[in-house]
Structure formats: structure tokens, C-alpha cells
Amino acid sequence: MTIQIGDRVPSTTFVKATENGPEQVNSDDYFAGRKVALFSVPGAFTPTCSARHLPGYVEKADELKAKGVDEIACTAVNDAFVMGAWAKSADAGDVTMLSDGNGAFAKAVGLEMDGSKFGMGTRGQRYSMLINDGVVEQLHVEAPGEFKVSSAEHLLESL
């Protein structure tokens, strides 16, 4: 079942790349007590994700924070090393990269997709969420092959 507005984000574990190596991030702790703009991409370094999705959040980070967002985070079914390398290559210092390497979060929120025909296996769909103290306030899920409602611009307009 797909997560809905008003639902609590499920308890899972992400991994993020840090200066000291991979670090486990518990979703309950991560989303507690703050407003997080979370967006999901099918894969780091993929065309739309690299050319438009991540750069939009990097570019609009200050505007999102001015509207009350405490943190901006990107998740993908990629390992923490790939997510860390993507952040560096995209100069995405204002965006926290949360690796969902095994797809546990994507499955828990019911937003996984089958990318097998592209050689990608199971991945997370393209979407954005506004999460306030662990509860989903906004959810914008893209139709397959689209990039509109999960963009930083769309989320900013909806705040």
C-alpha cells in the first residue's frame, strides 16, 4: 500500500556517506522534530535525475529553507558510495544523500518500481514528499517517464 498524506513515515534505515565512511541513519530519528523535503530518484547519475531533478533542489535550497524546510534530502536505491560521489560531482552540499541501497524505504512506502527493462532492477519511483516531524504533509508522485510534480519548483510552489 502506498503511503498517503497524514501517514507516519515507516521506520527503516538509510545509509549516508560521511568523511568517516558509511553511516546508518534511522528514519524515525532523522525525520523527528523537523520539516524535511525528501525527493526520490530512480538512480544517481541517470539523465533526468542528474540534469534536472537534483540540480533543481540544489538551486532552490535557500528558497525552500526560507519557506520553513529544515533539511532537503535525496534518496535512491543506490549504495552510499554512489550517492556520495553523485553529491560531490553535482556540488550538492545543501542536499543530504540518503542511500536506500536495498530498497527497504521504497518498499515500505509502496513507491518501488521495476526498472528491469533498463537493467536497473527494483528502484524507487520519482516523487517528492514534505515530511513534518515524521508525518507526510505533501506527496507528489510522478507518472511513469514524467518529471513535473516532484521538482523543487513544484514543491516550492506548494509551500
Residues serving a catalytic function are 49
Neighbours of 73 (CB within 10 A): 21
List phi, psi (to 5°) of 78. Answer: -140, 160
114 closest CA partner among 42, 54, 45: 42
Distances (CA, A) of 62 to 49, 58, 79, 117, 121: 20, 8, 27, 37, 34
